[in-house]
Structure 1
Amino acid sequence: MYYTVDTSKSFNQAATDLEAAVLGHGFGVLHVHDLGATLRSKGIAFSEECKVFEVCNPAQAAKVLAADMRLNMALPCRISVYTEKNKTRIGLIRPVPMLSALSQDPVLKQVAQEVEDKTIQMVDAAR
């Protein structure tokens, strides 16, 4: 269900490299949520770092929405860069099992596979 890799890069370098990989694979970064900073700004003692990148390929998103508009709730894709016990990690929830749990449409499975392949390539490139 998850695809996660460890990297020897710093958290900030991995985040920078992920953004470049997303753009290099024809996707865009819609937003970056800095969850660590947000939690700390709310007074929560959170020692880890975590940035969640919302990424999208408009052509693929349009195919998903054309098949089932309700799936807007599963978009955009998210790739995270985070620290855990002094390790930097990059990961995502695989689109194929996620969308398969929401729809049995074979067209959606194909789109999900294409997106999964690309997002895994992005993670591996940023590693």
Structure 2
Amino acid sequence: MIYKIITDTPIQTVKDEMMAHAKEAGFGVLGTYEFQKILQSKGMDLNQEITGYELCSPKAAQDVMNELPEMSVFLPCRISVYEENGKTVLSTVNINDVMPTIDASQDFKEHMNSVYTKFVSIMKSWN
């Protein structure tokens, strides 16, 4: 259900370059969430830095919501960035695990696979 990429690229480099890498793949960054800071502002502790990114390809979002409005729960696409065992981890929902459970045409599923492949290319761009 979760797709993860592990890279030796320092976390700060990934964070600094996320917008440019997303743009190269046809996505924009809609929002960024520094979860540690957010929780600290609420009086809670998070023992590690985790940053969430909301990314969007407007055309892909339009296609998804016109075909299957219920898929909007997966939008915008998200990537989380954090450290694990001294490495930088990028993770997201593996939409390929979700698609077989969706009642949609094969053409739509293939189109979503193509969009997901572009999305994953963002994550792989630091390897």
What TM-score does the superposition give when structure 2 sets the normalisation length?
0.87
Compute the displacement of 1:25 (Å): 0.7
Q: Among all aligned residue pairs of Structure 1 and Structure 2, give the percentage whose two residues are the same amino acid.
A: 26
**What CA deviation, in whole Å up to 9, does each residue of 1:63-102 have, x standing for no partner?**
1111122222221111111123443211211222224334
SS at match of 1:126: coil
Structure 2 residue 87 is matched with structure 1 residue 87: yes
Q: What's the CA shift string for 1:88-121, capped at 9, x where partnerless?
A: 2112112222243343432331232012101111
User: Is the Cα–Cα contact under 8 Å of residues 22 and 122 in structure 1 kept in the other structure?
Assistant: yes
C-alpha distance in structure 2 between counterparts of 1:102 and 1:80, whole Å? 24
Q: What is the count of residue pairs matched by the alignment?
A: 127
Structure 2: give runs of 5+ residues left out of the alignment.
none
Mapped to 2, the partners of 1:22 and 1:66 lie a distance apart of 23
Counterpart contact for 2:8–2:88, Cα < 8 Å = yes
CA RMSD of the aligned region, Å? Answer: 1.7
Alignment of 1:58-97 (within 5 A): 58-97=58-97
